[in-house]
Structure 1
Amino acid sequence: MVNSRRVPLLLILSATLLAGAGNGITIVAFPWLVLQRNGSAVEASLVAMAGTLPLLAATLLAGTAVDYLGRRVVSMLADLLSGLSVMAVPVIALVFGVEAIDVAVLAGLAALGSFFDPAGMTARETMLPEAAARAGWTLDHANSVYEAVFNLAYIVGPGIGGLLIATLGGVNTMWVTAGAFGLSIVAISALRVEGAGRPDRTKLPDGVWSGIVEGLRFVWNNKVLRTLAFVDLTVTGLYMPMESVLFPKYFTDRDEPAQLGWVLMALAMGGLVGALSYAVLSRHLKRRTTMLIAVLTLGVAMTVIAFLPPLPLILALCAVVGFVYGPIAPIYNYVMQTRAPAHLRGRVVGVMGSLAYAAGPLGLIVAGPLADAAGLRTTFLALSLPMLVIGLLALGLKSLRELDRTPD
């Protein structure tokens, strides 16, 4: 029998799994729908970029919306709007025909869906500390399981997405995505936890813009948060094109949608194991050491992948990348949760997320044309070598030593 004190935490984890799985399906489905039409990596990168371009502004607004409107309401509303945006793909196909789903339509729907996703993720993450306290879990334990579930979603999502595309086709796959968002809404609708309802208006600024500025100022004035934001911004810009464009291009050219799903699943499976291992690893490794290992390993593994070795080696390298990077998100969560006051938590999470998303469009703009012009191997190297440089530079950043200091 489930302990009733753990029910709020289990509901948050369930909603995270369902919404994340829906997003995981779209990672495969949107690029596949484009590449199936003409095989252009440039157009695939444009659609992928459309799915990331709104994230900078959307995540900033999401944090403010969570603090102003309440965490539970924002989570359900965001999932509803995200579900409607992906459901539009098969609806348009039914009403106007498959030919109507061109690159512009896909880019628009990808942008619309991505605009709402950060609000749901931010809302669920900001409810985690209270749910963990109710369940009697430490923050390290809760963050470890939360990020493991998030990674599990990206095992289930891309894997199912690849299989559904192979059996039902890319358009009908979007029905499954909408269903996943709907079930996430059901889970959060049953949630009751401290801090999830109406916020304390006396602690909020007068307007949305002043709220965003307050969150930005807090992150900028906190040395460790500021450093983490810029490191994550750079790493995301280098890593995102590999998952969103380069691997889809490689396996589309080979007409192997299932293999694309396996590669994305290997990344997520490694992340799942890495995130689950964090609670144990944190007893033996400092947070700063864990982060440095992750960034350096990313650079080495991506460099080897650049030579496009056989699929088993690609899968192994992707699993390693996921494993070493898995503990990073729990560390980020811990720092945000312990440095930010409760009434600012949504905005701090939003600011940190938006800064990470800011580099994504730039990386995608470069990766698509470079892949078509110079080939996948050159593009992989162009992304992996700077990752190695970032890891080496991070060794000398004194501010990262704050990761291992207990906050006042």
Structure 2
Amino acid sequence: MSTPGRARLSLTALLMAHTLSRTGNVVTLFAIPFLVLETGGGAIQVGIAAAATTAPVVLGAPLGGVLVDRIGYLRSSVGSDVVSGMTIALIPVLAALIGLPFPALLALVFLSGLLDTPGETARRVLLPDLFTKARIPLERSVGFLDGATRAATLIGAPLAALLVASLGAFPALLVTAGAFALSALVAGVLIRPAAPSPSTDAVADAIPGGYWVDLRDGLRFVRSDRLLRPLILLVLVTNTLNAARGGTLLPLYASQELAGPASLGVLAGSFGGAALIGSIVFGFIAHRLPRRVPFVICYTLITGSSLGPALGLDTPWLVGVFILSGLAAGAINPIIGAVELERIPPHLRARVLGLITAGAWAGMPLGGLLGGFAANSFGLTATFTAAFVIYLAVTLTPLRGGPWKLMERTDAPGNRTERESPGQDQSVL
């Protein structure tokens, strides 16, 4: 098989493994709130559980990114799925054997998510070598990976709704463990990295310096980059609101105003399916378009997923709103991912992407928790309305220009000088 053919096969396996791993995460995120409600918990407990599902990212992303650089991307991807799957499987097993108090559930959820992000980071950093060998444009490859993430939502949300509604939340978690195991198998057997390098499982000794030196280098790079700083801040705010909406507010809205898990599954599946289409379609045309204006337009359209519940819409209307929001959301990550991979030197990618992920997710545990408290104190309508207003205000900021102009491609007219300014000694793909 030719080099491009081998790379395309590995890229396909990478996307399959990523879809399976993310499907496990979707089933978990969907099942945990209803598991808490099934066992007598209320809005505050749902918010606490939502925080426990997102808090591991804040720790696992930056600390795990350095380990991924040292251990190797492929081994990190496989190992993270194995450990996460085993930990999730303990939830229904222990519940059936000896019972599972709420604090123990939180601990297992936290541990299961601790390695999820390093594993996903490893798969993201495997992309550049593979797409170069496969002769696929950068935005398209990132769009494919984001499409795999969206496909996981499309598959996982309805599947989780069916499992929770028919069997209960605990059996649904067994599907999560199975998805993680299958992801590890596909990645370990079928992915063949394109070149020998630290990113493709070379020995740790190939990377100079110690662990904390590596982490410091990643932090220094993030601080010195004019675009990454405001980008991380914007995604931090929007992800915090997304966590409140998806992890706490929508499950409560589905339970109180709609038809429970089935309605939430339909909405999540509608959003995920539309986002999958948006990712793939935009991935094919993104390299021909500017980045900043589509970025703002798409982010603005996503606000509909908070505005719809704020207006008290029922399921059929919300499906339309979520489809529109999903199509827009599908275009966001190909833009962000391409910008990041262009600006980060290859030898820093895992640790820098880990730090970026940690910064972008830092507010998500608080978002889920605040969503529960706000809904309990002010009601769902007021909370959804506030989320909509804040989200809209933040996502319009890139129109102001400044460092946001650096989003455009480095080979576009007028951008190369800014990209190669002092303090930004980065390798361009």
TM range (shorter): over 0.9
For residues 236 and 53 of structure 1, what CA distance do their matches in structure 2 show? 13
2:61 counterpart (39, 53, 59): 59
Q: Which residue of 2 aligns with 1:162?
A: 161
Percent identity between matched residues is 29
Give unpaired runs (5+ residues) of structure 1. none
Q: Which residue of 1 aligns with 2:239?
A: 236
Contact 2:232-2:359 at 8 Å conserved across structures: yes
Contact 1:17-1:150 at 8 Å conserved across structures: yes
- Structure 1 residue 301: Cα displacement: 4.6
- Structure 1 residue 3: Cα displacement: 4.0
- Structure 1 residue 238: Cα displacement: 1.3
Write out per-residue CA displacement over residues 307-364 of structure 1, whole angstroms, 9 at most, x where no aligned residue: 2202111111112112112121111211221111211110111011000111112222
Q: Does 1:31 align with 2:33?
A: yes
Contact 1:148-1:272 at 8 Å conserved across structures: yes
Q: Cα gap change, 1:301/1:24 in structure 2, threshold over 3 Å: closer, same or farther?
A: closer
- The worse-fitting range, judged by mean Cα deviation, of 320-329 and 193-202 is 193-202
2:409 counterpart (367, 388, 405): 405
Structure 2 counterpart of 1:395, one-letter code: L
Write out per-residue CA displacement over residues 54-77 of structure 1, whole angstroms, 9 at most, x where no aligned residue: 211210012111111100111111
For residues 355 and 376 of structure 1, what CA distance do their matches in structure 2 show? 27
- The worse-fitting range, judged by mean Cα deviation, of 279-288 and 133-142 is 279-288
Q: Which residue of 2 aligns with 1:207?
A: 210
SS at match of 1:308: coil
Contact 1:336-1:348 at 8 Å conserved across structures: no
- Structure 1 residue 396: Cα displacement: 0.8
Q: Cα gap change, 1:38/1:307 in structure 2, threshold over 3 Å: closer, same or farther?
A: farther
Q: Which residue of 1 aligns with 2:177?
A: 178
Give unpaired runs (5+ residues) of structure 2. 411-418, 420-427
For residues 394 and 140 of structure 1, what CA distance do their matches in structure 2 show? 20
Q: How many residues align?
A: 405
Structure 2 counterpart of 1:240, one-letter code: A
Contact 1:308-1:314 at 8 Å conserved across structures: no
For residues 218 and 381 of structure 2, what CA distance do their matches in structure 1 show? 40
- The worse-fitting range, judged by mean Cα deviation, of 146-155 and 301-310 is 301-310
- The worse-fitting range, judged by mean Cα deviation, of 155-164 and 288-297 is 288-297
For residues 396 and 343 of structure 2, what CA distance do their matches in structure 1 show? 27
User: What does 1:312-391 correspond to in 2, within 5 Å?
Assistant: 312-391=316-395
Write out per-residue CA displacement over residues 272-329 of structure 1, whole angstroms, 9 at most, x where no aligned residue: 1111122344256411011111222223552233122021111111121121121211
- Structure 1 residue 21: Cα displacement: 0.6
User: What does 1:165-314 correspond to in 2, within 5 Å?
Assistant: 165-190=164-189, 191-193=191-193, 194=195, 195=197, 196-199=199-202, 204-253=207-256, 256-282=260-286, 285-314=289-318
Q: Which residue of 2 aligns with 1:113?
A: 112
Write out per-residue CA displacement over residues 372-399 of structure 1, whole angstroms, 9 at most, x where no aligned residue: 1221111111211111111233321411
Structure 1 counterpart of 2:301, one-letter code: T
Structure 2 counterpart of 1:307, one-letter code: L
Q: Which residue of 1 aligns with 2:85?
A: 83
Write out per-residue CA displacement over residues 86-136 of structure 1, whole angstroms, 9 at most, x where no aligned residue: 10112102311xxx2232122111111111100110010100111112222
- Structure 1 residue 156: Cα displacement: 0.6
- Structure 1 residue 178: Cα displacement: 0.5
Q: Cα gap change, 1:328/1:32 in structure 2, threshold over 3 Å: closer, same or farther?
A: same
Contact 1:236-1:356 at 8 Å conserved across structures: yes
Contact 2:147-2:275 at 8 Å conserved across structures: yes
For residues 391 and 181 of structure 1, what CA distance do their matches in structure 2 show? 34
SS at match of 1:38: coil
Q: Which residue of 1 aligns with 2:142?
A: 143
Contact 1:240-1:360 at 8 Å conserved across structures: yes
Length-normalised TM-score, structure 2: 0.90
Contact 1:67-1:199 at 8 Å conserved across structures: no
Contact 1:27-1:158 at 8 Å conserved across structures: no
- Structure 1 residue 30: Cα displacement: 0.6
Q: Cα gap change, 1:283/1:204 in structure 2, threshold over 3 Å: closer, same or farther?
A: closer
Q: Which residue of 1 aligns with 2:101?
A: 102
Q: Which residue of 2 aligns with 1:69?
A: 71
Contact 1:19-1:180 at 8 Å conserved across structures: yes
Contact 1:58-1:116 at 8 Å conserved across structures: yes
For residues 370 and 225 of structure 1, what CA distance do their matches in structure 2 show? 31
For residues 202 and 401 of structure 2, what CA distance do their matches in structure 1 show? 37
